[in-house]
Amino acid sequence: MRVMLVGASGAIGARLVPQLADRGHEVIGTFASPGNAGRVRALGAQPVLLDLLDPGAVRQAVLDVRPGAIVHQATALAGGGFSRKLDRTFAQTNRLRTEGTDALLAAAREAGVPRFVAQSFAPYRYAREGGLVKTEDDPLDPAPPAGAKETNAAMAYLDRVVTEAGGIALRYGGFYGDPGDQLARAVGKRQFPIIGHGEGVTSWIHLDDAAAATVLALDHDGPALYNIVDDEPAPTREWLPVLADALGAKPPRHLPAWVARLIVGEDAVLAASQSRGASNARARRELGWTPRYPSWRQGFAASLGPVRPLTAAA
């Protein structure tokens, strides 16, 4: 099939291009930073420069390519640090998830593209009550932390419009496997503490496993929502020391919740103490997907090493 991968130059895009090609797909890979054409070509895709926030350009690109499927993996988190207010960090990503998704869906409709798969996110979104591990049918947080309202709304918007259009939204776990990512850098520098009792639960996914599930989703009819996470949602107090160890860093610091509230703000404290994990049972059952790294316990150790300096990662 001819697959138009939007965001082929990114962390997951780079894992996805070779896996799509191995599956026999022809990949047209979009990038947004002008220098990235060579990277996309070297990965095995035909590169196309595209700004998802330019609806006219999106329409033209999709009509030109006439793909059998569109995969939307465009986000804009690289480079900038994480702000205390998540909505500030995610402002551009939120636009890509709302306006960008709208432009792609409109173009897909006009060009008669039968399949649409888009990146969504599982951690920190499910209601912070009841069981610690949530399925796709469980309610999302009705009152997200103040600084993350727009980010949560953008993800909910993407989930809704993609599935209403008959597509598939993949709620990935926290990505790992990219040693240049900002979380790894912060943990490597002991800037990511265990807050309070560290009982908030996170679901993780190795980038290669996220890409493998995405390839399988292209063979599946929508509409559907899938949590693409590993088998072991875990509290911060368990996964963070293992991540630090895998990075060759010193163990994480501990910060009482009241101190953390002053330094990193209430939103981070809520996430650290109340967040819920996600179940991958539906994706395993319906997509026939089996993660190569069923737990971050093996995955962190197998795929991460000492953190690269900022310049080398950029």
Ligand X SMILES: NC(=O)c1ccc[n+]([C@@H]2O[C@H](COP(=O)([O-])OP(=O)(O)OC[C@H]3O[C@@H](n4cnc5c(N)ncnc54)[C@H](OP(=O)(O)O)[C@@H]3O)[C@@H](O)[C@H]2O)c1
Binding flag, residue 162, ligand X (CB under 6 A): no
Q: Which of 20, 50, 103, 107 binds ligand X (CB under 6 A)?
A: 50
Q: 17: which 2 tokens?
A: 């291009």
Residue 75 touches ligand X, criterion: CB under 6 A: yes
How crowded is the C-beta side of 237, counted as CA atoms within 13 Å? 11
Quick count: other Cβ atoms within 10 Å of Cβ 238? 16
SS3 assignment, position 255: strand
From 87, 136, 141, 178, residue interacting with ligand X (rule: CB under 6 A): 178
Identify which of residues 242 and 259 has a Cβ nearer to ligand X in the complex.
Answer: 242
CA 154 to chain centre: 13
Strand 115-121 and strand 168-172: the pairing is parallel
Q: Which of 78, 91, 111, 156 binds ligand X (CB under 6 A)?
A: 78
Helix (H) or strand (E) holding 121: strand 115-121
Q: Which is nearer to ligand X, 7 or 193 (CB)?
A: 7
What's the residue count for the chain? 314
Which run of H or of E encompasses 18? helix 11-22
| Residue from 3, 27, 74, 162 in contact with ligand X (CB under 6 A) | 74
HEC string of 16-51 equals: HHHHHHHCCCEEEEEECCHHHHHHHHHHCCEEEECC
Minimum distance from CB of 256 to ligand X (Å)?
A: 26
186 binds ligand X (CB under 6 A): no
Residue 53 in the binding site for ligand X (CB under 6 A): yes
Q: 269: Cβ–Cβ under 8 A, 6 or more apart, which residues? A: 195, 196, 257, 260, 261
State the nearest-atom distance from the C-beta of 51 to ligand X, in Å: 5
Using CA atoms of 52, 53, 55, 61 in order, give the dihedral in degrees to the nearest 10: -20
**Looking at beta carbons only, is 88 or 130 nearer to ligand X?**
88
Stretch that binds ligand X, among 69-77, 134-142, 191-199, 230-238 (CB under 6 A): 69-77
For residue 97, the 8-state DSSP code is: I
Stretch that binds ligand X, among 49-57, 185-193, 216-224, 301-309 (CB under 6 A): 49-57
Stretch that binds ligand X, among 173-181, 216-224, 271-279, 281-289 (CB under 6 A): 173-181
Per-residue x/- mask for ligand X, residues 104 to 143, rule CB under 6 A?
-----------------x----------------------
CB 221 to ligand X: min, Å: 25
Nearest approach, Cβ of residue 39 and ligand X (Å)? 8
Contacts of 36 (CB under 8 A, 6+ apart): 9, 47
Asked if residue 76 binds ligand X (CB under 6 A), the reply is yes
Member of 51, 138, 199, 238 binding ligand X (CB under 6 A) = 51
Q: Which of 1, 21, 57, 77 binds ligand X (CB under 6 A)?
A: 77
* Helix or strand (DSSP H, E) at 99: none
In this structure, are residues 61 and 50 in contact, taking their beta carbons and an 8 Å threshold? Answer: yes
Asked if 275 touches ligand X (CB under 6 A), the answer is: no
Contacts of 67 (CB under 8 A, 6+ apart): 1, 2, 3, 4, 28, 111, 113
Residue nearest to ligand X (CB): 10
Of residues 8-37, which lie at the interface with ligand X (CB under 6 A)? 8-11, 13, 31-33, 36
Question: Which positions touch ligand X (CB under 6 A)?
Answer: 7-11, 13, 31-33, 36, 50-53, 74-78, 96, 121, 175, 178, 181-182
